[in-house]
Each structure stands twice: as structure tokens, then as C-alpha cells.
């Protein structure tokens, strides 16, 4: 992380007044200016300038030769014919005649040397320079956003006056502005909240409607944000012909309308996907959470600090005794089938190809047949040691559970337990595999980390965090103990992914955008996980996944994974095999190709040869006749070879899709600028 906050730029008032025109998806809109369309016949500047100089010198040489008589006097015959006596009339008429000849030479060689284009470009370059040196004061729009026109139109003029004064006095930040705007929108949806909103703003000013943490900004910022549009800048589109005209040289940004389709970034370590993509996105989502607009869950390896601890409300350090929070093993669910489905996905989802049915549903059924009866007796789900005993088939544990069910006269739950025991030892029994995987969590270092909330004594162990709380604008970071417990870390990652996809769909209030950032999704992509990722868009949620290579995903799921996400990024340094998958998913496009055949023109006429020589000196090329053949063909937008071998360091190619279905072609991007 940077040691200090970067330059904050203009004041809030100037920032609010900056133009934000409608553009193509993914373009940084703050201050964006659309480029003029490219001219395919534009002459390069060096060639244009050299041609103008050479043509001027040749024209000056010809005039000098004419004036000094080296080319004869035939060019004076019209003047002699009009004034044969060479008297005063000759002297009076000679100067206009000489001017006419000189003008003709200038016109001819001006056309050859493109003097008019040189003048036009010079004037345009000077006018850019003048705009750059002039003071860049943003032009106030017709409706000044600093005056909070929405509040005035909505019947709260005194609130608008107070907030406008806060902006003018420099006491309001962009986070405050976004947070209060969000609160006002909720007031418009429920008019009964207007008195409380008015009282809060008049009392607290810019600090009104604060986040539950009391924070009004992050400790540090490392990226450029536009919270009025919820954009974060991740790079700049390269000014190359392969990029569309509207994107060339423009900033590229992500926002919830793009992250809502989920995103995947693939690149080797050091390619910039974590520092230049994940970190800005996490920072932006944390700012949006402070503004009451989003909830974010970040899963990363312990020590990979994408943001300081103070930037989060909840930090779960699995396996660390100093961690205040643990993780609810069952995702806060009270439904045995739902809880079993999430837990089975975490334990054996990566082995779906070897499981009966090709996914974790059979294992989920076996788990539900155990934890359902247990909950019916004890009022809670079993903790990790208790679940391990049941899956191991410990006679004492199963006998005690059956006795408790019989004593409570729970016949339906007894039938569940009977069904589980009938499957024990048969072909397709998943209990041994589940027991082996749950044993990875039954370690002393994870003691008291996964105790269900209802089964924990007050003040004992770690406070279990549940993803059911994502209806609130929370900032959560979960650190995985990858160094000493790599396999357990993968189980935790799959557990969080399964719980996230299940919990966001069950939210009663989906006005908050919820996002899961999984910085290293190796061995977490399963058939069930793909189905969950595809359902996030309808629940106003999304996921950002990163991979070092597609080899970390089962072969049968690589294509479906690229199809399930709407935003795809491939970083410099990927292997040709990974590049081939991206080239295939980006497909082909119709392009026009021009085959130009040049044939040098040779003439025997002295004057024609002289003019050809002049044109060659002016343009640097032989005089030729061109034959142009135009064809329309299909070509790959980006070939596997280009992606694997032609991407410069620090660059990536990405394509974006909005939740409305708008798509962009793949764009070559310089990350971090």
C-alpha cells in the first residue's frame, strides 16, 4: 500500500461540476472528451512536414530560375504580346503578371506539399497548448449540483441549504455526498423517513446518516474514484488500431453495473491482477459500503493485505488465536437441507467429477440426514468435532442421537437417520470422504472458529460471522491460512463462495450491491459454484475471481466459467493454452481488408518526367498507379498467439458486459494508469 494518500485533486464543488457524458461501457466518464473520428488517409506528421519543405524549396528554385532567365523568356511571351513597346504600360503590367506567375507556382507546389494541411494542424496544435495553459475552471452546469437541486425539488430546501454550505466550507467529502444522496433516495422511497432525515442533516451536517462504524472515509486511498457514478479507474486503453475509436486513450473503470455480471482475471504472479485490479476494486467497494451503497466480502491469503484492517468492519483471521471473529459453518441457516448443501459444496465440491451424479448433491443429502435429526434434538447444528464423530460412524454418537430422537418421539427424523445408515458401506457412500475432509477442520488451530451462534456460550471462543448479515453495508475480510493449511484454506474458500451465492439470493432487501472478491479462486470453481455465480446478477450481486492459470480449474469447467462471467481479463504472461480459451470465447469479427498493388509509372516525355521527379522529392515515393482490392473476411479479435506473446508487461486485454446486456469488444489496457 502507498504510505500516504495521493493528491486529492479538485475541490468537491469543482469535482461535482465536472462533465460526465454518456459513453460506452467501462469508460471513465469524469471529464471524458470524445475523440474525433480517425482519418484513414491522414498523412504522418514527419512526412507531411518534409514534403511541405521540399515542395517550397523546389517552387522557390523554379521561381529563381525563371527570374534570372535560366529557363528562357518563353514564360514572358503573354506579357510581351499585351505590351509590345516595353514602355510605361509594360512596367505597370509586369508586376501583376509576375505576381500571377508566383501565385500559380505557390498553388501548384502548395497542393503537392499539402501546405493547407500543415497550416491547419499547426493552428490546432497551438489551440491545444492554449487550453492547457489556461486555468482549468470547470464550467458550472445550468443546474448546479452543489446546491442539491434534488432536495430542493423534493420539498427540503433548508436541508439543501445546510448541505450546500457544508460543500462551500470544505467540510464535506465525496463519501459524505454519496452517503447522503443514498439516504435521500431511501427517503423518497419511504416518505415517513423525511422528518428523521431532516433532523439528522440539520444537526450533523456532512456527518449525517453515518455508517454504523462511524467512519466517513478510508485510512488510505490508492486509486481514483468517482463515487457519483460508483466508478473506480483501473487503467487506460492503449491508443492502438486494435482498440475501438471511442476507447483509444480513454480511462477504463469498473462499477456495479459491470461487476454485477461477475468478473474473472487470469494472469501469472506479478502481472498486476491483484495490485492493479483487485486492490482498486476492494477500495471502491469499501467506499461504497461507507456510503451505504454496497456490502463487500474479500477472501485472500493471510498477509496479502489488499487494504488495512481499519478499512473493514469485520476481519476473520482463520486459525489465528487473536482473531475476534470466527465463521459460521452453516451460513446462519436454520434449514438442514440448505445448510447441508453449502457445507457439502465446501467439503467435496472440487471432487464433483468423481462423485455420484457429477456434483455434491448426493453428499448434501447424506449431510442433511445427519444434521437435520441432530438439530431437531439439540436446537442447533453439530459443531466440527460432533459432526466428525457422526460421519466417522462412531457407534456411541449414532446410538445417542437415535436414543434422543426416540425419547422426543421424532419419527420423521428417525426415518432420516435410518436412510443414512442404510447407505453406509454401500457403493456411492460419500460419508467416508466427508469424514476425511471434515477432519481437516477438526484441528486444534481451528478450535472454536466454527461453533454455530446458537451453540456458543456467551463470551466464549470467537464471535461467529454469518454471511446472512449482507443486508447491511458491511466491509468484511477473511484471511485464509494457506501457508500451513493449504487444503483447509481451499475448503474455507469454497464454503464462503457457496454461502455467498446462497445468502445474497435469500436477502429480503436487495437494494445494496453485494460483491465477493476471491483473490485466488484456485480449486473453488465447481459445477454448483458456476450455477451460483450465474444467479448473482438477478440478486444485485457479483463476484470478482482471479486465477494464476486456467489449469487451476477442472478442464470440463474452463469453458463454462468463461461463459458464466460477463467481464473477462487476460494479463500479460499467460500461457498459449490459456490464451486459446480467451481467443475462442471472444470469437471473430467481420473486417475489411485492402490489398494494394502499386505499379510505378514511367514516362518518356521530358516535362512529365520532370513533374514525376518533383513529386518524388516532395513525397519521398515514386509516382505509381494503385490497384485496390477490398474484401470482407472474418478474423479473430485476438488470437491466442497475440495474447500469449504480444502483450507488453503491465498490460491486459479485457472485455466487459453490463447487467443490461451491453457488451464491449476486447480492449488492450495499460493497468494502473
Position 307 confidence tier, pLDDT thresholds 50, 70, 90: confident
Q: Which residues pair with 175 in a beta bridge?
A: none
pTM of the model: 0.83
Q: Is the pLDDT of residue 456 over 50?
A: no
pLDDT at 8: 54
Radius of gyration over alpha carbons of the chain, in Å? 36
d(CA 390, CA 572): 49
What number of H helices and E strands is found in the chain?
23, 16
Q: Is the pLDDT of residue 304 over 80?
A: no
C-alpha closest to that of 1 among 222, 217, 218, 274: 222
Q: Is the pLDDT of residue 461 over 70?
A: no
High-pLDDT (> 70) share of the chain, %? 93
Helix (H) or strand (E) holding 449: none
pLDDT digits (tens, 9 = 90+) for 145-156: 999 999 999 889
pLDDT digits (tens, 9 = 90+) for 34-53: 877 666 667 777 888 888 88
Q: Is the pLDDT of residue 457 over 60?
A: no
Q: Is the pLDDT of residue 563 over 90?
A: yes
Q: 522: Cβ–Cβ under 8 A, 6 or more apart, which residues?
A: 490, 547, 548, 552, 553
Q: Is the pLDDT of residue 455 over 70?
A: no
Q: 146: Cβ–Cβ under 8 A, 6 or more apart, which residues?
A: 13, 16, 17, 164, 167, 168
Position 3 confidence tier, pLDDT thresholds 50, 70, 90: very low
pLDDT digits (tens, 9 = 90+) for 518-531: 999 998 999 999 99
Q: Is the pLDDT of residue 6 over 80?
A: no
Q: Is the pLDDT of residue 138 over 80?
A: no
Q: Is the pLDDT of residue 282 over 60?
A: yes
- Most confident option among 328-332, 342-346, 622-626: 342-346
Mean predicted lDDT score pLDDT of the chain: 87
Dihedral angle sign, alpha carbons of residues 183, 187, 192, 198: positive
Mean pLDDT to the nearest integer, 631-644: 89
Q: Is the pLDDT of residue 661 over 70?
A: yes
pLDDT at 38: 63
pLDDT at 458: 39
Amino acid at each position: 500500500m502507498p504510505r500516504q494518500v495521493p493528491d486529492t485533486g479538485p475541490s468537491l464543488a469543482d469535482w461535482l461540476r465536472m462533465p460526465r457524458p454518456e459513453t460506452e461501457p467501462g469508460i471513465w466518464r469524469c471529464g471524458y472528451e470524445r475523440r474525433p473520428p480517425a482519418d484513414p488517409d491522414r498523412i504522418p506528421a514527419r512526412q507531411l512536414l518534409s514534403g511541405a519543405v521540399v515542395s517550397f524549396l523546389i517552387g522557390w528554385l523554379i521561381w529563381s530560375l525563371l527570374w534570372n532567365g535560366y529557363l528562357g523568356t518563353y514564360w514572358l511571351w503573354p506579357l510581351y504580346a499585351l505590351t509590345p513597346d516595353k514602355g510605361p504600360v509594360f512596367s505597370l503590367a509586369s508586376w501583376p503578371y509576375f505576381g500571377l506567375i508566383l501565385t500559380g507556382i505557390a498553388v501548384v507546389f502548395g497542393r503537392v506539399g499539402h501546405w493547407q494541411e500543415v497550416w491547419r494542424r499547426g493552428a490546432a496544435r497551438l489551440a491545444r497548448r492554449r487550453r492547457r495553459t489556461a486555468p482549468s475552471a470547470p464550467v458550472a452546469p445550468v443546474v448546479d449540483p452543489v446546491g442539491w437541486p434534488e432536495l430542493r425539488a423534493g420539498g427540503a430546501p433548508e436541508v439543501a441549504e445546510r448541505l450546500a454550505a457544508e460543500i462551500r466550507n470544505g467540510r464535506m467529502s465525496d463519501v459524505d455526498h454519496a452517503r447522503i444522496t443514498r439516504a435521500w433516495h431511501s427517503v423518497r422511497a419511504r416518505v415517513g423517513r423525511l422528518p428523521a432525515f431532516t433532523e439528522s442533516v440539520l444537526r450533523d451536517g456532512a456527518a449525517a446518516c453515518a455508517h454504523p462504524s462511524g467512519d466517513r472515509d478510508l485510512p488510505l486511498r490508492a486509486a481514483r474514484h468517482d463515487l457519483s457514478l460508483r466508478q473506480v479507474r483501473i487503467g487506460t486503453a492503449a491508443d492502438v488500431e486494435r482498440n475501438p475509436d471511442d476507447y483509444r486513450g480513454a480511462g477504463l473503470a469498473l462499477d456495479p453495473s459491470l461487476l454485477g455480471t461477475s468478473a474473472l482475471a487470469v494472469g501469472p504472479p506479478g502481472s498486476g491482477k491483484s495490485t492493479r485490479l483487485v486492490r482498486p476494486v476492494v477500495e471502491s467497494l469499501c467506499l461504497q459500503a461507507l456510503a451505504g451503497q454496497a456490502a463487500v466480502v474479500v477472501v485472500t491469503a493471510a498477509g496479502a493485505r489488499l487494504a488495512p484492517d481499519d478499512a473493514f468492519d469485520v476481519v476473520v483471521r482463520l486459525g489465528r488465536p487473536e482473531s475476534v471473529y470466527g465463521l459460521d459453518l452453516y451460513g446462519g441457516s436454520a434449514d438442514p437441507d440448505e445448510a447441508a448443501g453449502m457445507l457439502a459444496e465446501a467439503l467435496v465440491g472440487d471432487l464433483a467429477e468423481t462423485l455420484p451424479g457429477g456434483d455434491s448433491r448426493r453428499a448434501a443429502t447424506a449431510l442433511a440426514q445427519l444434521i437435520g435429526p441432530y438439530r431437531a434434538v439439540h436446537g442447533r447444528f453439530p459443531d466440527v468435532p460432533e459432526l466428525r464423530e457422526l460421519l466417522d460412524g462412531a457407534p456411541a454418537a449414532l446410538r445417542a442421537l437415535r436414543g434422543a430422537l426416540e425419547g422426543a418421539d421424532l419419527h420423521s427424523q428417525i426415518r432420516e437417520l435410518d436412510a443414512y445408515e442404510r447407505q453406509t458401506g454401500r457403493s456411492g457412500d460419500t460419508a467416508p470422504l466427508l469424514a476425511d475432509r471434515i477432519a481437516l477442520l477438526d484441528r486444534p488451530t481451528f478450535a472454536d472458529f466454527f461453533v454455530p451462534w446458537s451453540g456458543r456460550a456467551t463470551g466464549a471462543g470467537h464471535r461467529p460471522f454469518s454471511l446472512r448479515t449482507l443486508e447491511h453495508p458491511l466491509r468484511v475480510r477473511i484471511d485464509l491460512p494457506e501457508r500451513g493449511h493449504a487444503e483447509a484454506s481451499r475448503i474455507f474458500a469454497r464454503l464462503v463462495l457457496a454461502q455467498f451465492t446462497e445468502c445474497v439470493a435469500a436477502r429480503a432487501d436487495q437494494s445494496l450491491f453485494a460483491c465477493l472478491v476471491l483473490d485466488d479462486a484456485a480449486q473453488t470453481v465447481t459445477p454448483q459454484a458456476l450455477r451460483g455465480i450465474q444467479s448473482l446478477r438477478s440478486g444485485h450481486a457479483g463476484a470478482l475471481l482471479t486465477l494464476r492459470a486456467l489449469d487451476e480449474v477442472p478442464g470440463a469447467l474452463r469453458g463454462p466459467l468463461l461463459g458464466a462471467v460477463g467481464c473477462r481479463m487476460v494479463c500479460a504472461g499467460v500461457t498459449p493454452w490459456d490464451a486459446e480459451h480467451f481467443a475462442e470465447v471472444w470469437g471473430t469479427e467481420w473486417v475489411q481488408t485492402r490489398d494494394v498493388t502499386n505499379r510505378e509509372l514511367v514516362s518518356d516525355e521530358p516535362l512529365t518526367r520532370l513533374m514525376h521527379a518533383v513529386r518524388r522529392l516532395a513525397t519521398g515515393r515514386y509516382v505509381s498507379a494503385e490497384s485496390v482490392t477490398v474484401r470482407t473476411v472474418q478474423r479473430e479479435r485476438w488470437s491466442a498467439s497475440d495474447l500469449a506473446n504480444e502483450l507488453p508487461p503491465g498490460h491486459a486485454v479485457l472485455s466487459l458486459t453490463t447487467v443490461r446486456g451491453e457488451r464491449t469488444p476486447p480492449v488492450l489496457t495499460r493497468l494502473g494508469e
